[in-house]
Structure 1
Amino acid sequence: MFGMGKSKAVVGLDIGSSSIKLVELRRVGKELAISKLGMEPLPSEVVVDGAIVDTGQVSNAIAKMFSEKKIKTKQVATAVSGHSVIVKKLSLQPMTDEELGSAIQMEAAQHIPFDIGEVNLDYQVLETPLDSSTMEVLLVAVKKDKILNYTNVVMLAGRTPAIVDIDAFALQNVYEYNYEPAPDATVALLNIGASVMNINIVRGTTPLFTRDVSVGGNQYTDSLQKELDLGFDEAETLKTGTTLPGISEEARLPVLKSVTEIIVLEIQRTFDFFRATSGGEHIQKLYLAGGSAKIYGLAEMLKQELGLAVEQLNPFRRIPYEEEGPVG
């Protein structure tokens, strides 16, 4: 969304609350291939609810990955989400690009709950039926201090921030490239991280509704630690379905289920609101992504409670991995 320069080569950087993920793509003919892939875990409390608290530790982790992977590319693309990010779909009278560029500030002032001077704005004209009397515009606003929070750590690591996207739209890019959706295919993309869940409902390649919810894998870890008197590492192991000596299924499963029910309820509320405000648009399928998407029992409960086909989104469905050696 927020371009900060032009570059043919850009490294993707996902700064999460439990780890940092890195990917460098290369073109092979008309297709993409992965040339570098890495992940560096982060201690708890370094990134909290999408805010980078310890900039030194995060920048050091980024620099370490670039060094270990021998990546020479300087330009970086990253993404943000959370309460400092506002996404609104506007229905406006048809106008030229020049007129829209002049009008967007005024429109933003009416729809953004922040001082316009405190945010970075971007917008995209969406596809609209030819017989429509209005034009649909996707407006995005992010607080400047949120963007600086991320771009500063990139620069401290000796790299140049080229693009700051929105997490939900970054996942949509992955979905579009790998799945080449039909124009009438309406799906929900769920990115479930450690502390934030991004929901993006998409028809074809057009985003219809987005929402960020402050729930994720940390709730499972916290509940397992509290209810079963476990350490952090033990709880992290249990929530993925791996068993531990002395912890029975009868003890573990009810704890996981109670948290899953909370997450499913938030998703159900989001879908109900979307249907009520979109003329009854029908969601056909749900794709799960993110580090917490493979929590034991989550996909099955989503399938049962929502009555939808549920699939783990494969980000490498059309993107071969070419680097030799272990990922990490």
Structure 2
Amino acid sequence: MRFRRPSKVIGLDIGSHSVKAVQAVRSGRSMTIEQEGIAIIDRNLLNSDPVAATSRAIRSCINGFAIDKSMFVGALPGQSVVIRYPRLRDVPINELDEAVEQEASQSIPYDLSEVFLDWSLLSEEPEGDTQQQKILLVAAKHDVIDKRIQYADVAEIEYSILSVDSLALADAAEECKFFNQNESVALINLGASSVSIHFTKDGESNFIRDISWGAKELIQAIGKAKRLDYEDAEACLMEEGAGLSAGGDDTGNVVDVQVIDEPKAVVDDDDLGLESAAPMAAASSAMSAAPQEITLADNLSAPIARLVTEVRRSFDYYEHQLYEHPVERIILSGGISHIPMIREALSEELGVDQILIADPSAGGISISGKVNMNRGDVHPAQYMVAVGLAARGLSEL
């Protein structure tokens, strides 16, 4: 049997809410996206059979792709892996494997027999009479990798490469030529159940942190306030969220997003707590003879404040504890990155004026005429991880 070398790459981003994919080829020095797809994961099936729910979404997402001609590149969720940046001195190239493993045994909170290790040499810089080597070290437990492979097996695909979603953000930004020389940039991906923050300097990975906050907090807040089920609350957020501003909502009322010191507990994903809404509304009504109508922006101010607080902590650690240059620009991606209220709250709290929404279709890559990344509730920033995974795969062809 003759095996053909793949000519295309499919970057497959599996989230907790949806699956996104792009099919790409290398055209000269740039990447061309030939196809894109997105499929929502069935929430009800996800609760009872996550493998079936995810694999079905994968098949739906890549329907029509040139699967038999493509290499698949997937990603592990950032919150499930450990990433470290050890620095070595004057270690010969042929001894780096052993030196990195020794560093891993001291910094990884698992027995090395429980994890798969991978690393890359980021840079070498002179330090006095020695040469300092900066390493990117990634450790993933075997069961995390096995789960990703299980999804692929049931969907009848096979990965050639497994990366990490937060690392894919930087690969996408580099491919799209979003980085500027000597600039400190924070890549923030706003997911359904978590947020990934990847700090880079001069295009090089410097620090990554994942936050347990996601779009579901906004959806839950809307569901409680408006007495909506999860699906209707989600539709409300996506339909009306693009018009919400931290300075004023669609009614013209000023909305104050107050940053809090400690994040409050949130209800379970499937429990919107609607039974408590009536007593709370009655108490509120009793406190004011003429209560002002609560707007959607009011409903979202508290969960957005929790997000901003956690992001602020990450920035403080990066800039002050790691003694890094202050972040000059933020690039947002993910399903809710288009909501102005989030961007404005981050800008005000972090003091960063340049906050951009990632748009791979407007970057340094080419887009096939049949590709449409901006339709209905779908927008280009949702594809950043998938684009980065495709770029990673193309570098291997």
Matched residue, 1:260 = 304
* Equivalent residues of 1:10, 1:74 under 8 A apart: yes
Cα distance in structure 1, aligned partners of 2:63 and 2:319: 47
Check the 8 A contact 1:239/1:296 in 2, yes or no. no
Aligned to 2:270: none
- The one of the two structures with greater contact order (alpha-carbon pairs below 8 A, sep at least 6) is 2
C-alpha distance in 2, partners of 1:295/1:147?
33
- For residues 1-328 of structure 1, the aligned pairs below 5 Å read 8-44=7-43, 54-69=50-65, 71-131=67-127, 133=130, 134-240=132-238, 242=240, 250-308=294-352, 309-316=354-361, 317-324=363-370
Distance 2:55 2:296 in 1: 36
SS in 2 for 1:32: strand
Give the counterpart letter for 1:285 in structure 2: R
Q: Secondary structure at the match of 2:232?
A: helix
Q: Is the 8 A contact 2:190 2:333 kept in 1?
A: yes
- The one-letter amino acid of 2:109's match is P
CA contact (8 A) 1:75 1:159 kept: no
**Contact 1:239-1:295 within 8 A present in 2 as well:** no
- For the structure 1 residues 180 and 131, does the alpha-carbon distance in structure 2 shift closer, same or farther, using more than 3 Å as the test? farther
Superposition RMSD on alpha carbons, in Å?
2.5
Indicate how the Cα distance of structure 1 residues 95 and 209 shifts in structure 2: closer, same or farther if over 3 A, else same.
same
Secondary structure class of the residue paired with 1:286:
strand
1:87/1:229 Cα in 2 relative to 1: closer, same or farther (>3 Å)? same
1:73 deviates by 3.2
Task: Provide the secondary structure at the position in 2 that maps to 1:58.
Answer: helix
Q: Distance in 2 between matches of 1:103 and 1:53?
A: 42
Shift of 1:12: 0.5
Note the C-alpha offset of 1:8. Answer: 4.7
> Which deviates more, 7-16 or 263-272?
7-16
Cα 1:186–1:80 change in 2 (3 A) is same
1:255 partner amino acid: N
> What's the offset of the Cα at 1:148?
1.2
Shift of residue 95 of structure 1? Answer: 1.0
The structural deviation recorded for 1:235 is 1.3
Distance 1:119 1:47, change over 3 A: farther
Partner of 1:191, secondary structure, is strand
CA distance in 1, matches of 2:65, 2:155: 14
**What displacement does 1:304 show?**
1.4
Query: CA distance change for structure 1 residues 78 and 53 in 2, over 3 Å: closer, same or farther?
Result: farther
Q: Which stretch has the larger CA shift, 317-326 or 170-179?
A: 317-326
| Cα displacement string for residues 25-63 of structure 1 (whole angstroms, at most 9, x for unaligned residues) | 012222211111100111226668xxx961122112222
Distance 1:53 1:69, change over 3 A: same
Out of 275-284 and 209-218, give the one that drifted further: 275-284
Residue 191 to residue 253, structure 1, CA distance change in 2 (3 Å): same
Task: Identify the range of structure 1 (314-323 vs 15-24) with the bigger mean alpha-carbon deviation.
Answer: 314-323
- Identify which range, 317-326 or 198-207, moves more after superposition: 317-326
Residue type of the alignment partner of 1:312? I
**Could you say if the C-alpha distance between residues 29 and 135 of structure 1 is closer, same or farther in structure 2, counting changes exceeding 3 Å?**
closer
Percent identical: 27
Give 1:220's aligned amino acid.
L
- Larger mean CA deviation between 212-221 and 148-157 belongs to 148-157
Q: How far apart are 1:313 and its partner, in Å?
A: 1.2
Shift, 1:221, TM fit: 0.4
1:3 aligned partner: none
Alpha-carbon separation, structure 2, partners of 1:174 and 1:199: 14
Which sections of structure 2, spanning at least 5 residues, go unmatched?
242-249, 252-292, 379-397
Aligned to 1:297, the other structure's residue is in SS state: helix
Q: Does the 8 A contact of 1:240 with 1:294 survive in 2? A: no
SS in 1 for 2:68: coil
Q: TM-score, length-normalised on structure 2?
A: 0.74
Displacement of 1:182: 3.0
How far the C-alpha of 1:180 sits from its partner, in A, is 5.0
Q: CA deviation at 1:167?
A: 0.9
SS in structure 2 of the partner of residue 113 of structure 1: coil
Give the C-alpha shift of residue 259 in structure 1: 0.9
User: Per-residue displacement from partner, 1:10-30 (whole Å, max 9, x unpaired)?
Assistant: 210000111100101012222
| Greater helix content | 2
Q: Secondary structure at the match of 1:129?
A: strand
- Bigger Rg over Cα: 2
SS at match of 1:67: coil
Q: Supply the distance in 2 between the matched residues of 1:326 and 1:276 (Cα, whole angstroms).
A: 42
